[in-house]
């Protein structure tokens, strides 16, 4: 066998939970360790270890990502009431992705992996749509009050010198609810720059949409910041490359996206991005074929699959039943991170390895070997349905023959 590829800087490796934790180990054993002298700094973000460390491990892994520049993350459980008792948790720990995003203040780009034989539900989507989700603030950093009854709700800002600005929210005549949300010019600006840079990197148009006609200050500020940064920093480069920045209202954007052929980046506010990325992923065929990368304004990258820990499959696995879980998006998280590490450290072999492993994944499915959920939507005549491990082994076989 050829000599293993050497790495210089470690990848930050964030292990996770349930079925994806099982796939994680299989991917390393079958597809990475035989070919690469894998250098990682390992953080166990599995829920048990997060609980043991009072979630310090999540913060440490994000800090390490800042230090080294590239991380690869396995899907993790976001605890809810059921998980509290299942894992005997000390606290309902926050979503690790939320914690990591808050520390890195980045933008999440999600793009589907397109494969021949898997036709999107939206027939005219012949190119991938990349969703860029703003990863800071709004409803994800909200403050809420359940209003018990009659009373006045106000929005109050107190400046450092003590001066106040007040706006009436509502005079309640009975019970109700209120919510306070915020964002910062700094975060919105870095979101805008991340999107413009990614559009230039990938030579794609950039679309952005908000509800500025209704939210005349909040959403309008997003629109204005994007336009100012575009005009002063990016307009010329976009024109040279023949790509476009396009702003419209969110409802108009949704309609246009459905009619489009794809091939652009759709920048979304935090909540729109959360919702629309699942819609787009599903319409392209399968949640398990969506890649995700968090890009911070300082140029730090964290790669992951967009799907969760596939809990239902894990419970089958625990009962000793066979699973057919698709590992492609998790493999692409590794290849994305390895390619970026190669790019930053000038290791061509690592970049080539990543390209080749991605091609091997696609070729394996196009040759008719796939996991169950892909076989249900594939136009392939007689697909060979493989279990979780055999699918990874089939990818390795394809890889070795390429």
Enumerate binding residues for ligand NAP (CB under 6 A): 75-78, 97, 287-288, 304, 307-312, 325-326, 373
The smaller minimum CB distance to ligand NAP, of residues 212 and 272, is found at: 272
Minimum Å distance from CB 58 to ligand NAP?
11
The smaller minimum CB distance to ligand NAP, of residues 58 and 309, is found at: 309
The piece of 28-36, 185-193, 267-275, 300-308 that touches Mg ion (CB under 5 A) is 267-275
Q: How far apart are CA 383 and CA 115, in angstroms?
A: 14
Nearest Cα neighbor of 365 from 389, 387, 391 is: 391
**148 secondary structure, DSSP code:** -
DSSP 3-state of 85 = helix
Contacts of 378 (CB under 8 A, 6+ apart): 117, 118, 365, 370
The smaller minimum CB distance to Mg ion, of residues 274 and 390, is found at: 274
The smaller minimum CB distance to ligand NAP, of residues 212 and 304, is found at: 304
Q: Enumerate the β-bridge partners of residue 265.
A: 130, 206
CB 71 within 8 A of CB 153: no
Nearest Cα neighbor of 361 from 323, 342, 335 is: 335
Per DSSP bridges, beta strands 176-180 and 143-147 are antiparallel
C-beta nearest to ligand NAP: residue:
308
Minimum Å distance from CB 276 to ligand NAP?
15
260 binds, among ligand NAP, Mg ion, none (CB under 5 to 8 A by kind): none
Minimum Å distance from CB 84 to ligand NAP?
12
The smaller minimum CB distance to Mg ion, of residues 277 and 335, is found at: 277
Enter the tokens of residue 383: 């697909």
The smaller minimum CB distance to ligand NAP, of residues 89 and 200, is found at: 89
364 binds, among ligand NAP, Mg ion, none (CB under 5 to 8 A by kind): none
**Which backbone phi and psi does 13 adopt, to 5 degrees?**
-105, 120
Number of neighbours of residue 9 by Cβ within 10 angstroms: 15
Q: How far apart are CA 281 and CA 131, in angstroms?
A: 10
C-beta nearest to Mg ion: residue:
274
Give the chain's radius of gyration (CA, Å): 23
Q: Which string of x and - marks every residue 272-301 that binds Mg ion (by CB under 5 A)?
A: --x---------------------------
Minimum Å distance from CB 88 to ligand NAP?
16
287 binds, among ligand NAP, Mg ion, none (CB under 5 to 8 A by kind): ligand NAP
Q: How far apart are CA 196 and CA 101, in angstroms?
A: 19
308 binds, among Mg ion, ligand NAP, none (CB under 5 to 8 A by kind): ligand NAP
Minimum Å distance from CB 278 to Mg ion?
6
The piece of 1-9, 266-274, 324-332, 378-386 that touches Mg ion (CB under 5 A) is 266-274
The smaller minimum CB distance to ligand NAP, of residues 308 and 368, is found at: 308
Minimum Å distance from CB 132 to ligand NAP?
16
274 binds, among Mg ion, ligand NAP, none (CB under 5 to 8 A by kind): Mg ion
Minimum Å distance from CB 304 to ligand NAP?
6
Number of residues forming the site for Mg ion (CB under 5 A) = 1
CB 106 within 8 A of CB 194: yes
**Which backbone phi and psi does 14 adopt, to 5 degrees?**
-110, 105
DSSP 3-state of 233 = helix
Spatial strand order of the sheet with 11-15 comes to 40-44, 11-15, 70-73, 301-305, 290-295, 107-112, 130-134, 264-268, 205-210, 245-249
380 binds, among Mg ion, ligand NAP, none (CB under 5 to 8 A by kind): none
The helix or strand, by DSSP H or E, that contains position 195, with its residue range, turns out to be helix 185-202
CB 83 within 8 A of CB 47: yes
Contacts of 249 (CB under 8 A, 6+ apart): 209, 210, 211, 212, 213
311 binds, among Mg ion, ligand NAP, none (CB under 5 to 8 A by kind): ligand NAP
282 binds, among ligand NAP, Mg ion, none (CB under 5 to 8 A by kind): none
The smaller minimum CB distance to Mg ion, of residues 60 and 274, is found at: 274
Minimum Å distance from CB 284 to Mg ion?
16
The smaller minimum CB distance to Mg ion, of residues 63 and 274, is found at: 274
Binding site for Mg ion (CB under 5 A): 274
């Amino acid at each position: 066998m050829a000599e293993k590829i050497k790495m210089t800087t470690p990848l930050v490796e964030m292990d996770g939970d349930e079925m994806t934790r099982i796939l994680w180990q299989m991917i390393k054993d079958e597809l990475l360790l035989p070919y690469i002298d894998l250098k990682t700094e390992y953080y166990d973000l599995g829920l048990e270890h997060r609980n043991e460390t009072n979630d310090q491990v999540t913060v440490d892994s994000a800090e390490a990502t800042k230090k080294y520049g590239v991380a690869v993350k396995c899907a993790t459980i976001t605890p809810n009431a059921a998980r509290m008792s299942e894992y005997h948790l000390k606290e309902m720990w926050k979503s690790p992705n939320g914690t990591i995003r808050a520390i890195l203040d980045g933008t999440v780009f999600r793009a589907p992996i397109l494969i021949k034989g898997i036709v999107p539900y939206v027939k005219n989507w012949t190119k991938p749509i990349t969703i860029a989700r703003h990863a800071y603030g709004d409803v994800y950093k909200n403050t809420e009050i359940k209003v018990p009854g009659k009373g006045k709700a106000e929005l109050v800002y107190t400046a450092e010198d003590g001066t106040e600005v007040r706006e009436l929210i509502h005079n309640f005549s009975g019970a109700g609810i209120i919510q306070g949300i915020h964002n910062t010019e700094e975060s919105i600006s870095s979101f805008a720059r991340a999107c413009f840079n990614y559009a230039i990197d990938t030579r794609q148009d950039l679309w952005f949409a908000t509800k500025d006609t209704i939210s005349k200050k909040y959403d309008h500020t997003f629109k204005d910041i994007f336009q100012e940064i575009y005009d002063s920093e990016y307009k010329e480069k976009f024109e040279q490359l023949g790509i476009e920045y396009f702003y419209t209202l969110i409802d108009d954007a949704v309609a246009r996206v459905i009619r489009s052929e794809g091939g652009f980046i759709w920048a979304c506010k935090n909540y729109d991005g959360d919702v629309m990325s699942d819609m787009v992923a599903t319409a392209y065929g399968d949640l398990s074929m969506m890649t995700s990368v968090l890009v911070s304004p300082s140029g730090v990258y964290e790669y992951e699959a967009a799907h969760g820990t596939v809990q239902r499959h894990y419970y089958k696995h625990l009962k000793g039943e066979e699973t057919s879980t698709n590992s492609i998006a998790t493999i692409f998280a590794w290849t994305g991170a390895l390619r970026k590490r190669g790019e930053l450290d000038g290791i061509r072999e690592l970049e080539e390895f990543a390209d080749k492993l991605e091609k091997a994944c696609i070729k394996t499915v196009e040759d008719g070997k796939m996991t169950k959920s892909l076989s249900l939507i594939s136009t392939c005549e007689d697909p060979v349905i493989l279990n979780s491990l055999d699918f990874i082994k089939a990818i390795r076989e394809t890889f070795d023959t390429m």
